[in-house]
């Protein structure tokens, strides 16, 4: 259901879908599945299309699936759904309180991500090709299952340094979750709805954003911190592996973003590193 | 797997395209020539060792022991090929080369070396022979290519022998892994059980089974890739004969 509206002498393209739940922010239009999303102000005459223009829709529901998966999968292991562990453990709960805490943290993390996807993020690249969706889901879901299996295992061993270690880990985790959220809010406020100007993010009154002084992509920094906290909390090798892989990927993204900042803004602060202050 | 490594860019080039292609520098070429000559020699040593041992013993049994050391040296040495791709002096994919070399190294060390009981199996001989013939042809192919003096016979052999050698090698590898399974399970080789401080477990027995299963999607892909390469490289000869 596509409506074309004329404005002055330009053909301005607007997309409205009859189902009201599909509000515009959840859609994104691109000319081909692998290409970039069209910007709102792209003019149809100037777009590289042939006589028939094909438009592909992708719902941000992709992100929602990617995040709801790990959330639910982890819970399946937590509640020890049958056929995962030995039958005598079906629907039992772990005797270690850190396992309950870990479940709360993991669930909180993904619920937060889901809510942010729905209400906070403004996607400039709101869609992705089908191949990527499959790859991403396998990654998130696979790792979630792998981690959850060991943390919720009847033979799970709690952290060596006990309560001290868990407490420190929880503090780190919560600190970074708040930090990550603060950055997402700050980035959202950087570009008010409708505005297309791109600006350099700067620290705001919120202390969690002061990290912008040292880092271009503090959302990734905080994300790393959260998972380091979770690794410390669970003392589980698969979690460490997940943290490492995530760190590598986020570093790649952060470097790319940092480079594009430098290219776009002459006056970009020189003190900033892509993801780790002074290091990376 | 026993497939010849996918030196894909070296395969489809005619003599004229060498001028257009940006190849490795003189120093790199010299190094690569030496590398490939050494590897050819190494696998010839293995081949000779196999023949001599067979003639001496009069049976196929237990020939692995007669070439165990050079096999380990020269197959492990192939790890350098990953470096060659990474550095860029060989224009193949790092991932593809890495995968192929690692699978060979895995079979050499993590299966045959680690599980003594399989060393006397005939399946070991099967893949060792397949690898030996393949590698002698492959390394001499590269050597001659680098020197711009590739005899057609070598090119033909490289793109024809694989028809038999590849399935032969795969069969030998699979049978060897299969033979190793009971011993791995019994001894818990390379396996980690719960509970432990890192909350991690690894079952090598299950892992080996998964490796065997992975041959099912991978082997056909590589096999048909070589068949397609063969058409591309050797195909034009048929065109000439048609013209005549």
ipTM: 0.73
Q: Do residues A234 and A98 make contact, with C-beta atoms less than 8 angstroms apart? A: yes
The CA distance from B128 to B111, in Å, is: 13
pLDDT of residue B1: 53
Q: Which residue has the tokens 């009971």?
A: B182
The CA distance from B104 to A121, in Å, is: 47
Interface test with A, best of B194, B196, B199 (most A CBs within 10 A): B199
3-state SS of chain A? Answer: CCEEEEECCEEEEECCCCCCCCCHHHCCEECCCCCCECCCCCEHHHCCCCCCCCCEECCCHHHHHHHHHHHHHHHHHHCCCCCCCCHHHCCCCCCCHHHHHHHHHHHHHHHHHHHHHHHCCCCCCCCCCHHHHHHHHHHHHHHHHHHHHHHCCCCCCCCCCHHHHHHHHHHHHHHHHHHHHHHHHHHHHHCCCCCCCCCCCCCCCCHHHHHHHCECCHHHHHHHHHHHHHHHHHCCHHHHHHHHHHHHHHHHHHHHHHHHHHHHCCCCCCCCECCCCCCC
Tell me which chain A residue has its CA closest to the CA of residue B197: A157
Which chain B residues are Cβ-neighbours of A150 within 8 angstroms? 194, 199-201
Distance of residue B201 Cα from the nearest chain A Cα, in angstroms: 8
Res. B217: pLDDT tops 60? yes
Q: Do residues A112 and A207 make contact, with C-beta atoms less than 8 angstroms apart? A: no
pLDDT of residue B234: 87
Interface test with B, best of A98, A102, A237 (most B CBs within 10 A): A237
- Residue B22 confidence class, pLDDT cut points 50, 70, 90: low
- Asked if A160's CB is within 8 angstroms of B199's CB, the reply is no
- Asked if A157's CB is within 8 angstroms of B200's CB, the reply is no
B47 sits in which H/E element: helix B26-57
Q: What is the pLDDT of residues B131-177, one digit of tens each?
A: 999 999 999 999 999 999 999 999 999 999 999 999 999 999 999 99
Q: What is the pLDDT of residues B200-211, one digit of tens each?
A: 999 999 999 999
Distance of residue A229 Cα from the nearest chain B Cα, in angstroms: 15
Q: Do residues A244 and A230 make contact, with C-beta atoms less than 8 angstroms apart? A: no
- Asked if B200's CB is within 8 angstroms of A237's CB, the reply is yes
CA distances from B160 to B146, B229, B239 (A): 21, 11, 18
CA distances from A73 to A63, A103, A156, A238, B223 (A): 16, 11, 18, 15, 38
Mean pLDDT, rounded, of chain B: 88
Which of B80, B92, B85 lies closest to B42 in space, CA to CA?
B80
Given a cut of 50, the residues of chain A with pLDDT beneath it are 1-20, 22-35, 38, 40-58, 126
pLDDT of residue A10: 29
Q: Is B173 a catalytic residue?
A: yes
A-side interface with B, Cβ within 8 Å?
A: 150-151, 153, 155-157, 160, 234-238
The CA distance from B64 to A260, in Å, is: 57
Angle (CA) A27-A53-A197 rounded to 5° is 45
- Asked if B199's CB is within 8 angstroms of A236's CB, the reply is yes
- Asked if A235's CB is within 8 angstroms of B198's CB, the reply is yes
pLDDT of residue A109: 97
Q: Is B166 a catalytic residue?
A: yes
> β-strand A10-14 against A29-30: which pairing, if any?
unpaired
Q: Identify the active-site residue in B81, B121, B135, B173.
A: B173
**What average pLDDT score do residues B21-37 get?**
85
What secondary structure letter does DSSP report for B117?
Answer: G
Interface test with B, best of A148, A150, A154, A242 (most B CBs within 10 A): A150
Q: Do residues B12 and B234 make contact, with C-beta atoms less than 8 angstroms apart? A: no
Indicate the residue of A155, A234, A238 with minimum beta-carbon distance to B194.
A155
Tell me which chain A residue has its CA closest to the CA of residue B194: A155
pLDDT of residue A234: 96
Res. B222: pLDDT tops 90? no
Distance of residue A154 Cα from the nearest chain B Cα, in angstroms: 9
The CA distance from B200 to B191, in Å, is: 10
Q: How big, in percent rounded to 5, are the helix, strand and coil portions of chain B?
A: 75, 0, 25
């Amino acid at each position: 259901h596509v409506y074309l509206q004329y404005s002055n002498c330009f053909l301005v393209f607007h997309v409205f879908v009859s189902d009201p739940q599909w509000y515009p922010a959840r859609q994104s239009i691109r000319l081909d599945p692998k290409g970039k999303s069209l910007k709102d102000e792209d003019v149809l005459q100037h777009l590289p299309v042939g006589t028939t223009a094909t438009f592909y829709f992708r719902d941000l529901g992709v992100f929602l699936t990617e995040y709801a998966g790990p959330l639910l999968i982890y819970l399946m292991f937590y509640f020890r759904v049958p056929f995962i562990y030995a039958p005598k453990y079906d629907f039992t709960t772990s005797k270690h309180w850190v396992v309950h805490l870990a479940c709360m943290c993991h669930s909180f993390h993904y619920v937060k991500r889901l809510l942010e996807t729905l209400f906070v993020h403004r996607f400039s690249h709101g869609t992705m090709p089908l191949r990527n969706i499959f790859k991403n889901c396998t990654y998130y879901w696979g790792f979630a299952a792998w981690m959850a299996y060991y943390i919720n295992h009847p033979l799970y061993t709690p952290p060596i340094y006990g309560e001290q270690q868990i407490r420190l880990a929880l503090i780190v985790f919560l600190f970074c979750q708040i930090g990550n959220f603060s950055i997402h809010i700050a980035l959202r406020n950087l570009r008010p709805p409708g505005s297309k100007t791109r600006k350099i993010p700067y620290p705001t009154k919120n202390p969690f954003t002061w990290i912008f002084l040292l880092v271009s992509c503090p959302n990734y920094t905080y994300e790393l911190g959260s998972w380091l906290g979770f690794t410390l909390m669970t003392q589980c090798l698969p979690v460490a592996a997940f943290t490492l892989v995530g760190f590598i990927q986020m570093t790649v993204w952060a470097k790319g973003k940092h480079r594009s900042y430098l290219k776009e803004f002459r006056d970009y602060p020189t003190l900033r590193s892509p993801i780790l202050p002074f290091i990376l | 797997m026993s497939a010849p490594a996918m030196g894909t860019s070296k395969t489809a080039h005619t003599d004229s395209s060498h001028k257009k292609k940006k190849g490795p520098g003189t120093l790199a070429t010299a190094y690569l020539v030496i590398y490939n000559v050494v590897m050819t020699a190494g696998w010839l040593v293995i081949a000779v060792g196999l023949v001599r041992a067979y003639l001496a013993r009069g049976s196929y049994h237990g020939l692995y022991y007669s070439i165990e050391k050079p096999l380990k040296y020269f197959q492990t040495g192939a790890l350098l090929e990953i470096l060659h791709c990474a550095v860029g002096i060989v224009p193949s994919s790092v991932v593809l080369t890495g995968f192929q070399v690692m699978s060979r190294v895995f079979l050499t060390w993590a299966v045959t070396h680690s599980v003594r009981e399989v060393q006397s199996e005939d399946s070991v001989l099967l893949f060792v022979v397949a690898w030996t013939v393949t590698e002698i042809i492959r390394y001499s192919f590269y050597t001659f290519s680098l020197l711009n003096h590739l005899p057609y016979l070598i090119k033909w052999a490289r793109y024809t022998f694989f028809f038999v050698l590849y399935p032969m090698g795969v069969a030998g590898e699979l049978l060897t892994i299969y033979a190793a399974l009971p011993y791995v399970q019994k001894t818990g080789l390379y396996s980690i059980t719960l509970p432990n401080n890192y909350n991690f477990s690894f079952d090598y027995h299950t892992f080996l089974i998964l490796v065997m299963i992975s041959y099912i999607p991978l082997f056909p892909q590589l096999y048909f890739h070589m068949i397609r390469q063969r058409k591309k490289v050797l195909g034009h000869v048929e065109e000439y004969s048609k013209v005549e």
